[in-house]
Structure 1
Amino acid sequence: MATERRTPRTHWALLAVTLLVLLGGILLDTLVLQGIDGGARITKDAAANVPASVSSGGPLLGRDEHGLASRRVPDHTIALTFDDGPDPVWTPAVLDVLRRNEVHATFFVTGAAVSRNPSVAKQIVDAGHEIGLHTFTHTDLSQAGPLRTRLELDQTRLVVAGATDRSSRLVRPPYSARPEDLDDADFRAVNGLIDSGYVAALSDLDSKDWMRPGVDAIVKAATPQDNRGAVVLMHDSGGDRAQTVAALEKLIPSLRQRGWHFSTLGGVLPSAAPTYASWGERTQGSAILLTTSAAHALNSIMGWLVIVCTLLALVRAVLLLGCAMVHSRRKKLSRRDDQPYRRPVTVLVPAYNEEAGIEATLRSILASTTPVRVIVIDDGSTDGTADVVRRLRLPDVRLIRQDNAGKAAALNTGLGYCQTELVVMVDGDTVLEPDTVSELVRPFTDPVVGAVSGNAKVGNRSGLLGTWQHIEYVIGFNLDRRMYDVMQCMPTVPGAVGAFRMSALLQVDGIPMDTLAEDTDLTMALERAGWAVTYQESARAWTEVPASLGQLWRQRYRWCYGTLQAMWKHRGAVRERGLGGRLGRRGLPYLLLYQVLLPLLAPAVDVFALVSLFSQPMLGAVAWIGFFALQLVPALVAFWLDRERFRPLWTLVLQPVVYRQLMYLVVIQSVVTACTGARLPWQKLHRTGSAAQDSPLTVSSASGQ
């Protein structure tokens, strides 16, 4: 006998860490690498604390042995500078113009842009140009505190070192101005940079190319009006820079003809020139680049996953609704020709600790309009289940007791006592309506039908958890099963209410006992044996569902794990013909896609969608509304087809918060458990006998008292 391995306890921790890493990666790319910041200030402060030596000095600000100092560009010298790059399109275009004109410039890059385009940053350095720092996220340093400023510059310096092997102490603050335009807040930020060992590079001439005013206007704004040297501010990123590239083609030859020379800022102030980065800087920078590249790739993948998941959800909704309409029309036509089944039917009731509800179950079965013989198999109950059955002394009810061996074994025991061709199997907590059995066996007039699925309804639907399960049952049984019926690939006849042809059961050797989802395993085996399995929505049965999240988790964990076992066991159906082939090529892929793969991805998609509500509120809101509509429309149709009240559907708004996440985690836990080879024990749901509280049978009985 194989040793039973317990489910690893690290699944929850692994999942939590994975989601945290995922959230961190998405936030890193969305909020940092995309360059989200507060923008420049709208208003300016006073300039009372700006020294005259600074406001009337040059654009290069640093510190020497005498204190704060500024440096101007020599006369007849132009220092071209470019901000906001590197850009994969426009930076190479600017570099090409500079190469052809044999001019070197200084590029002030953002850490976010370097993280996205490290190879372009290296092109800048390889072409002989200088590289400076423009913060990581293009934030206004006059509004950033010392810690934010240090992080912005240190991280940018490191990613530059990782991408280019250069270390730069030359900084241009975003939204910077000419020295004479500095206010007190600007000066505090610049002074803080200088105190940290950086050189601040402002500008003399702003080309205003970011406004795209036209090539001639850019050239005019970048041309000095006298012989004084100037630092010219331009941009190689941040939008369409075609006008900038065209303006450079005119500006450089024009200035050269007038006798101007071109220099980098390091050529003007050698102490500001970038140096080779240390091994530590290169290593740290490479690590940051690797992290940011992974975050960017993750965000791109998540974006595509959202698109794919949306399309799949849309396809599923269309498929469910279309098949539901087809199924409804077929049933209306078939009922005209169906003849009621007149011979006795055996009803098997496997029972383990069902003392609370077994009486209601048996009385509802005996009230059937079709003659029934009931066999109760007490599977080693430790409560008074068997005593209740004996005490009732109901006609046509036979009690069989056995040691606890599981539901499948109990059903096989019961099959050994059956003397009818048709067998109905119901759980020990299920309550049938009077015509449930007659409706359930009606399709067996067709000799190819081997099994029929009934319509399980939630009895204890009070409370939010019960309401959510009620919605799930209505949608699952009235849309998914209708679709499976139309596509002839029914994967499961539920244990709560299903009917079988005895000859079909004998052909597949009875109820399988090697999976935890014996109902799914059996249904798949019947189809592979050539028997048709159909769905009878009018055969309603009321069942008790878990009343707590813990019980729900244990039940769904077993269901999901058992379904995975059955899918793997019957994977060979993909290669078969007939009904088995339809199961293999229609039913199994649908189960794999919509009940395994998509739930595995759903938490990540939800995290991405949640972040999008903050980063792109309108797009995120539209996505959430769209997903909700794809859930609500099928629910409305299912409730209409099943003649249910629409009122519970308002809880769909709350469902993603707890219930849907729990179902996703069940699938994740089940898949990981299956991959590790762990075995799950049978987990019995605690019964309270509340299955019939909302059934028409109970309501009518109460009204007659």
Structure 2
Amino acid sequence: MVGAGRRRTPGSSAGRNASSVPGERASWKARGDDAVVFGPGDELSMTVCAWVAFLMLFYVYLGYFLLLKAIARNKRCDEDDAREEEMEPWRWPRVSVLLTVYNEEDKIKKRIENILSCRYPRGLLEVLVASDGSTDGTDSYVRALGDKRVRLYRPEKRVGKTDTQNQAVAGTDSEIIVFTDADTTFDPGFIEEIVRPFRQKDVGGVDGHLLFTRCDGAVSESQGFYWSLELRIRSLESCLGWLAVGSGACLAVRKSIFRPMVSTVGEDCLVPLDVVRQGYRMIHARNAIAYDRMPSDSRREFRTRVRMTLRNWQGTWMYPDLLNPVRHPGTAFALWSHKLLRWMSPLFLLLWIGSGLPLLAYGEGVAAIPGWLALVFSGAAVMGWLVQKSSLDVPAVGFAYSFCLANLGMAVGVIRALSGRQITTYR
């Protein structure tokens, strides 16, 4: 077992040899009769474990991006090809913007106004408000609007976000469905830009370019860096035809290929995977810009990370064929690198720190490098935890703290998913 040692007993040969051989560096320190002695094999095992874990973390969060960038260096994105010809007005499809809500009376007015203000041919756009049993004034406001472009759908009882979406989509005859929520804001040209790639018959779904507005706090600052890298990865995967992820706040799909979703998983996971499974392509539309706010509160960020990981882990494993590199080489490579290995990063983080820090006691040269890196990172994370409630702005320690917080959330999410926990309704 990695990190296992031999216990030093009085008069043992291990104890005598460790201190009596001339010129040999002791691999343990005298701590009494119960001291743990690490032999050469233990040190090698821990060194290998620490390096492998560190390199896996590097690959998941930066190496994969650099690899995609190298592969796509000389490739022209299909999205750019689709923009060479403008669509004629009569060819624009009918679009339903599916706004799923629960008790959003303080946001619904502004959200509907934002959607209706987007550029799109008149008569071809509707806002379909799907209310999952709201108990405040949300439904009353929508009914009182009297606008033919806005329609309310409300299930007979609260069934959860995903089932509400399934039922609402079944009741519309629009060609394109755009998923969104009450917290998102669309750029004026968003709908035109997210619909444009559907000119290509093999495009089944489009992921919008979601940007997060600046919030105060170390959590939002460091998550902003993470999300910026995420968007660049999606653009590269889209360019290579490997994209199989999306943002539920700005996601579009052809109604003709939409299939009812499992109630315990969200549209951001299932819709892209289902599009790819049916032989269509997912596109990341960089010009279809939408805005949201990054959580600035640690507890909210943690809960969000747990929920998203739990639902997406379960949803991704519902498509084992897409994870098979023989059947879907590019998609499988992207899903393993972009999603599954990232959700396993808490394990890599634990192994890196758990194996790296002990190396500082007896490791030398290359063997000690992951240990020193782990020490610096751990110290920064602890400092970030200490200052995150203050007004201090220390980006480096804030990033380390946020990284650990996100990984803790992912770890809890995966554990709950493996234990069979499910989520259908949430606020």
TM-score range, shorter chain: 0.7 to 0.9
| Aligned partner of 1:502 among 255, 274, 282 | 255
Q: Which residue of 1 aligns with 2:194?
A: 440
**How far 1:480 sits from its partner (Å)?**
1.9
**How far 1:517 sits from its partner (Å)?**
3.1
Q: Which residue of 2 aligns with 1:653?
A: 396
Taking the aligned partners of 2:84 and 2:355, their CA distance within structure 1 comes to 51
Taking the aligned partners of 2:195 and 2:179, their CA distance within structure 1 comes to 12
Please state whether the residue corresponding to 1:473 is helix, strand or coil.
Answer: helix
| Aligned partner of 2:262 among 469, 489, 513 | 513
Taking the aligned partners of 1:625 and 1:338, their CA distance within structure 2 comes to 56
Q: Which residue of 1 aligns with 2:47?
A: 300
Please state whether the residue corresponding to 1:604 is helix, strand or coil.
Answer: helix
Q: Which residue of 1 aligns with 2:176?
A: 422
Please state whether the residue corresponding to 2:154 is helix, strand or coil.
Answer: strand
Structure 1 position 666 matched with structure 2 position 415: no
Please state whether the residue corresponding to 1:559 is helix, strand or coil.
Answer: helix
Please state whether the residue corresponding to 1:304 is helix, strand or coil.
Answer: helix
Taking the aligned partners of 1:302 and 1:160, their CA distance within structure 2 comes to 32
1:369 touches 1:434 (CA, 8 Å); kept in 2? yes
**How far 1:541 sits from its partner (Å)?**
0.9
Structure 1 position 490 matched with structure 2 position 243: yes
| Aligned partner of 2:128 among 356, 369, 375 | 375
Higher relative contact order (CA 8 A, sep 6+): 2
**How far 1:484 sits from its partner (Å)?**
2.1
Q: Give CA deviations for 1:107-130 in whole Å, capped at 9, x if unaligned.
A: xxxxxxxx6xxxxxxxxxxxxxxx
682 and 469 in structure 1: CA distance in 2 versus 1, 3 angstrom threshold: farther
Please state whether the residue corresponding to 2:290 is helix, strand or coil.
Answer: strand
Count of aligned residue pairs for this structure pair = 396
Letter in 2 for 1:364: N
2:160 touches 2:425 (CA, 8 Å); kept in 1? yes
Structure 1 position 390 matched with structure 2 position 143: yes
Taking the aligned partners of 2:71 and 2:312, their CA distance within structure 1 comes to 23
Q: Give CA deviations for 1:76-103 in whole Å, capped at 9, x if unaligned.
A: xxxxxxxxxxxxxxxxxxxxxxxxxxxx
| Aligned partner of 2:312 among 563, 570, 595 | 563
1:319 touches 1:483 (CA, 8 Å); kept in 2? no
Q: Give CA deviations for 1:8-28 in whole Å, capped at 9, x if unaligned.
A: xxxxxxxxxxxxx99xx69xx
607 and 290 in structure 1: CA distance in 2 versus 1, 3 angstrom threshold: closer
Structure 1 position 364 matched with structure 2 position 150: no
490 and 652 in structure 1: CA distance in 2 versus 1, 3 angstrom threshold: farther
**How far 1:616 sits from its partner (Å)?**
7.0
2:79 touches 2:197 (CA, 8 Å); kept in 1? no
Structure 1 position 540 matched with structure 2 position 293: no
619 and 414 in structure 1: CA distance in 2 versus 1, 3 angstrom threshold: same
Please state whether the residue corresponding to 2:317 is helix, strand or coil.
Answer: helix
Taking the aligned partners of 2:63 and 2:412, their CA distance within structure 1 comes to 27
Taking the aligned partners of 2:247 and 2:294, their CA distance within structure 1 comes to 14
236 and 302 in structure 1: CA distance in 2 versus 1, 3 angstrom threshold: same
1:349 touches 1:425 (CA, 8 Å); kept in 2? yes
Taking the aligned partners of 1:653 and 1:576, their CA distance within structure 2 comes to 37
Question: What runs of 5+ residues in structure 1 fail to find an aligned partner?
Answer: 1-20, 30-114, 116-154, 175-233, 240-283, 628-649, 685-705
327 and 390 in structure 1: CA distance in 2 versus 1, 3 angstrom threshold: farther
Q: Which residue of 2 aligns with 1:461?
A: 215
2:104 touches 2:138 (CA, 8 Å); kept in 1? yes
Q: Which residue of 2 aligns with 1:526?
A: 275
Please state whether the residue corresponding to 1:535 is helix, strand or coil.
Answer: strand
Taking the aligned partners of 1:447 and 1:468, their CA distance within structure 2 comes to 39
Q: Give CA deviations for 1:42-63 in whole Å, capped at 9, x if unaligned.
A: xxxxxxxxxxxxxxxxxxxxxx
Greater Cα shift, 309-318 or 342-351: 309-318
Q: Which residue of 2 aligns with 1:215?
A: none
Q: Which residue of 2 aligns with 1:406?
A: 160
Task: Map 1:13-92 to 2 at 5 A.
Answer: none
Task: Map 1:195-344 to 2 at 5 A.
Answer: 236-238=22-24, 296=43, 299-306=46-53, 308-309=55-56, 312=59, 315-322=63-70, 331-337=79-85, 339=87, 342-344=92-94
Please state whether the residue corresponding to 1:347 is helix, strand or coil.
Answer: strand
Q: Give CA deviations for 1:216-259 in whole Å, capped at 9, x if unaligned.
A: xxxxxxxxxxxxxxxxxx964338xxxxxxxxxxxxxxxxxxxx
1:324 touches 1:482 (CA, 8 Å); kept in 2? no
Q: Give CA deviations for 1:170-210 in whole Å, capped at 9, x if unaligned.
A: x99x9xxxxxxxxxxxxxxxxxxxxxxxxxxxxxxxxxxxx
1:327 touches 1:485 (CA, 8 Å); kept in 2? no
1:449 touches 1:532 (CA, 8 Å); kept in 2? yes
2:222 touches 2:399 (CA, 8 Å); kept in 1? no
**How far 1:368 sits from its partner (Å)?**
1.1
Structure 1 position 353 matched with structure 2 position 100: no
Taking the aligned partners of 1:540 and 1:344, their CA distance within structure 2 comes to 20
Normalising by structure 2, we get a TM-score of 0.78
Taking the aligned partners of 1:487 and 1:463, their CA distance within structure 2 comes to 35
Structure 1 position 161 matched with structure 2 position 8: no
Taking the aligned partners of 1:300 and 1:470, their CA distance within structure 2 comes to 33
Letter in 1 for 2:202: V
Q: Which residue of 1 aligns with 2:420?
A: 677
360 and 463 in structure 1: CA distance in 2 versus 1, 3 angstrom threshold: farther
1:436 touches 1:540 (CA, 8 Å); kept in 2? yes
2:68 touches 2:236 (CA, 8 Å); kept in 1? yes
Q: Give CA deviations for 1:626-646 in whole Å, capped at 9, x if unaligned.
A: 99xxxxxxxxxxxxxxxxxxx
Taking the aligned partners of 2:179 and 2:38, their CA distance within structure 1 comes to 56
Taking the aligned partners of 1:386 and 1:613, their CA distance within structure 2 comes to 61
Q: Which residue of 1 aligns with 2:28?
A: none
378 and 574 in structure 1: CA distance in 2 versus 1, 3 angstrom threshold: closer
| Aligned partner of 1:603 among 322, 344, 350 | 350
Letter in 2 for 1:659: S
Taking the aligned partners of 1:392 and 1:366, their CA distance within structure 2 comes to 13
**How far 1:538 sits from its partner (Å)?**
0.8
Identity among equivalent pairs (%):
22
Please state whether the residue corresponding to 2:283 is helix, strand or coil.
Answer: strand
Please state whether the residue corresponding to 1:569 is helix, strand or coil.
Answer: coil
Taking the aligned partners of 1:163 and 1:625, their CA distance within structure 2 comes to 29
Letter in 2 for 1:530: G
Please state whether the residue corresponding to 2:159 is helix, strand or coil.
Answer: coil
Please state whether the residue corresponding to 1:365 is helix, strand or coil.
Answer: helix
Taking the aligned partners of 2:325 and 2:77, their CA distance within structure 1 comes to 30
2:214 touches 2:294 (CA, 8 Å); kept in 1? yes
2:264 touches 2:424 (CA, 8 Å); kept in 1? no
Please state whether the residue corresponding to 2:23 is helix, strand or coil.
Answer: coil
Please state whether the residue corresponding to 1:450 is helix, strand or coil.
Answer: strand
Taking the aligned partners of 1:660 and 1:318, their CA distance within structure 2 comes to 20
576 and 590 in structure 1: CA distance in 2 versus 1, 3 angstrom threshold: closer
* CA RMSD of superposed structures (Å): 3.9
1:603 touches 1:664 (CA, 8 Å); kept in 2? no
| Aligned partner of 2:205 among 451, 460, 466 | 451
Task: Map 1:123-134 to 2 at 5 A.
Answer: none
Q: Give CA deviations for 1:258-310 in whole Å, capped at 9, x if unaligned.
A: xxxxxxxxxxxxxxxxxxxxxxxxxx97x866887896465234333256336
1:436 touches 1:538 (CA, 8 Å); kept in 2? yes
Larger Rg: 1 or 2? 1
Letter in 2 for 1:322: A
Taking the aligned partners of 2:185 and 2:304, their CA distance within structure 1 comes to 19
1:327 touches 1:483 (CA, 8 Å); kept in 2? no
Taking the aligned partners of 1:625 and 1:483, their CA distance within structure 2 comes to 34
